[in-house]
Amino acid sequence: MNPTLIAAAAMLTFACTPARAEPPQLDQQSRTQIVTTASQSLEARYIFPELGQQAAAHIADQNATGAYDELTTTEAFAARLTTDLQSITNDKHMRATLQRPPAGPGARPERPASEGGVVRADILANNIGYLELNGFEAVDEFRPPVDRAMAELEGVSALIIDLRRNGGGDPQSVSWLVSYFLEGPEPVHVNDFVTRIHGTTDEAVEEFWSSPTPVSLHGVPLYVLTSDRTFSAAEEFSYDIKVMGLGKTVGATTGGGANPGDVVDLGHGIELFVPDGRARNPITGTNWEGVGVKPDIASPKETALSTALRQLGVANASDDIDTHSVKRVFEPHSG
């Protein structure tokens, strides 16, 4: 199975909302059922079997000793499970959340409009290119808009890729974007995902390699903007660029999530994301889990753009991209 790194879903707001119903109440039997299902999933699926057993034993012990007795709402219980599981695993992908209701009329996503994850591409002063991505969507959705944008950016003197609002996505899409900055047509080993075979301690490995791209930006000075919201597959791209020596990262340390997995329904309106895989960079042999990708050039996330522009010799750089844009060369297709 091709692992997909997906960040937490954006919060939804509703224009017209009826009076809020009281959150469902949990009794001891319900909490025990949730803990039992979570424990079984951790023991069978979690990428690190010993840690999975420790995490399962911890929440079972907490439940048995009454630590959860006052947690009568699903919201409070999911939050506590997340805290307890992360305290054992230090895994940022490990998270219990409430199942979301279908989006109703007037719902609007927090993320900006995009096509396959591509928000915009611009030519700035001094022939500097700018590309914002808010996701690495499935590669078949990602490649066409990226190829359009990169065709317009071919020939820029430098390129800034803004991942500050990017929560992740498909590792195949990451490999495709990395390919634009590599030299020559020969495949380059970009990343691996090691996945636990459920119910065993055996592992399977999926390799990700570069591919020839329609145009090349090899050798173009590259700056990748990051924030604490840069997560999962967006962190992989930042990490790959950094360790392969293809560019510099600018901004804040990323979120620190490198372990893909699947959602498990725990019942009673709660679900648990259980990581069953881990990224493994072929150069470092490790990944960014729990520590994030530390920037080459540190700055507050809000000023990462101006920091990168100053590195490229732009005087009086601001953090408003529209101020610097000379020409918009990509906008998402509607619909």
Hey, what CATH topology would domain 118-260+275-330 get? 2-enoyl-CoA Hydratase; Chain A, domain 1 (3.90.226)
Using an 8 Å Cβ cutoff, are 271 and 96 in contact?
Answer: yes
Helices (H), the chain: 28-45, 49-64, 74-89, 139-153, 171-179, 233-243, 304-311, 321-324
Span 136-159, pLDDT tens digits: 999 999 999 999 999 999 999 999
Write out pLDDT tens, residues 47-89.
999 999 999 999 999 999 999 999 999 999 999 999 999 999 9
- State the pLDDT confidence band at 17, using cuts at 50, 70 and 90: very low
Sign of the Cα pseudo-torsion (243, 119, 211, 232, in order):
positive
Domain ranges of the chain: 28-98, 118-260+275-330
What pLDDT is attached to residue 184? 86
Confidence of residue 9 (pLDDT cuts 50, 70, 90): very low
Contact 158, 125 (CB under 8 A): no
**Per-residue pLDDT tens for 173-230?**
999 999 999 998 899 999 999 999 999 999 999 999 999 999 999 999 999 999 999 9
Which tens digit of pLDDT belongs to each residue from 264-319? 999 999 999 999 999 999 999 999 999 999 999 999 999 999 999 999 999 889 99
Which pLDDT tens digit goes with each residue over 229-262? Answer: 999 999 999 999 999 999 999 999 999 999 999 9
Is the CB of residue 46 less than 8 Å from the CB of residue 277?
no
